[in-house]
Amino acid sequence: MAKTTAPLKITPLGGLDGIGKNMTALELGGDMILVDAGLMFPDDAQPGIDLVLPDYTYVLENEEKLRAIVITHGHEDHTGALPYLLMDLGTRVPVYGSRMTLGLVEGKLEEFNLEDAKLCEVASGQRIRAGAFDVEFFSMTHSIPGTLGAFVRTRQGTVLFTGDYKLDQTPVDGVLPSYAALNRFGEEGVDLLLSDSTNATEPGFTPSERSVSPALRHIIKNAEGRVFVACFASHIHRLQQVCDAAVSVGRKVVVTGRSMITNTKIARDLGYLSISQDDIVDAYEAEDIPDDKVVVLCTGSQGEPLSALARMAAGGHKTLTITPKDTVIISATPVPGNEKSVQSIVNSLSKIGCAVYDRSQTLIHVSGHGSQEELKLMIAMCKPRYFCPVHGEAVHLRAHAELAKELGISEERIFVLTNGETLLMRDHVVEVGEPVECGVVYVDGLSVGDADPLVLRDRQKLSHDGIITCVATVASGDHKVREVDITGRGVSFMDDELLLEEANDVVREAINRASNQKGRNADATRNAVRKQLSNFLWSQTRTRPMIIPVVMEV
């Protein structure tokens, strides 16, 4: 290979501040590739926001260099930003992924009218050339089929991306991690390892996916009525085990929930989900089948308010109803921040009187991410010269860094980064480079871009304390207040006549005081009303509703 003075630049643009929006750029001279393009779902501090994307401005600024986008697997936190990115880039850049991954990606792109995107299927053991990058793919086990890691060879050194993984010895589909490839890479020389940190705080090994099968089958076999199983729609291995358990005890499978219907169809079409057409029935047909012969696969394991499980728990599903003799299995772990939503659905189900099972009662869920001993094994197989933990919150990255130290990697060769920080590799030596500008992009309805912090603050304020509208009419001649009308939404004191009378007086006084000041203007008057009324309401109610003052001269 020809020598070059340009370093290999590795820039995580997302994935280092939580579980989501994974995206890493690799740049060498005039070439760049991108590994993953994921999203994150908003939290309570982002009311009204639909999705959170990594800020990929740096990619757009260097789009003429971009040679390929590599997607490790089909989960939203690795694929969800791809349609938005391709809308900005155009569809000339090839997207590489496994058959299952591209099957899910294709459906997303069709929703955005991006059917002409260049989707390139790859498999374990395959190598591609993308500019200055030689990328070799290898299989990994995770909670979705078709998960791949990537070993990237360049003139300046090598980088290994594990992707999301656990070292499952008995995977449902029989596809083991590529131990031979990992050890071969280790012998060849892994200069930098970027490894999944999700379960870096969990001791031991993560149980095999197959370990949930006995409990699922036992519950389904012995349930009196229908069995409703809520899990991630992308967890094809879990869906397969539910289907197998249902068929083995003579039950038909009903699929409900938009993403569940879509993903099961894709998985069956591609051969990743095996169940006879005779064993799947439409939700409308389920009414004609005895309750003890039905299993319902549905969305809602994260407490999503519009999911199938949430609507059934509230009695609002158009075809299916949960009764006291039914059984509900929540086969998932709540994503941090979703615990209250999940508990709310469990409470609704408990009021119905049906039996509810979750991971706290029996082994009906295991993680798709490796625990500490698996993370150690990965480092031991790859023998990296430098290490960078990725895919996690700060606590996970730090814990993973400590594991690397235990395995003999010196502290100065371990890099715990934040999004936008860069690593530079020259002749197999890695050091910290200059950071690039990085943040987040909000999807708010049809708007995609930076959300105004004031907008989010106002939404939080509205959700907490409501809104007050104060309309005052002022005489144009003597500037005396004629009338004040105070109305509110989402406030608890609108029926307190005495309080409203006092608030009316506060507004009158604020306007009169502002009118007597030199340089009086409409903005100053409105600000005075807002400030005085806000202070009064705080003193009387200990709430600060949003106040919209309207002052009109008549």
| Positions marked catalytic | 196, 369
Q: What is the dihedral of CA 537, 539, 544, 549, to 10 degrees?
A: 40
Cβ within 8 Å of residue 372, ≥6 positions away = 199, 200, 201, 202, 203, 204, 399, 403
Q: Which runs of E-coded beta strand occur in 47-196? A: 51-54, 66-70, 95-97, 119-121, 127-130, 133-139, 148-153, 158-161, 192-196
Partnered with residue 119 across adjacent β-strands are 95
Distance CA 72, CA 139 (A): 10
Which of 293, 146, 321 has the alpha carbon at shortest distance from 221?
293
Which of 133, 78, 79, 71 has the alpha carbon at shortest distance from 96?
71
3-state secondary structure of 186: helix
**Tokens matching residue 54:** 């990594």
Residue 3 amino acid letter: K
Distance CA 446, CA 106 (A): 21
Q: What is the dihedral of CA 492, 493, 494, 495, to 10 degrees?
A: 110
Query: Strand pairing of 95-97 and 119-121?
Result: parallel
| DSSP of 187-221 | HH--SEEEEE-TTTTS-S-PPPGGGGHHHHHHHHH
Residue 70 amino acid letter: V
Which DSSP letter does residue 521 get? -
Which DSSP letter does residue 505 get? H
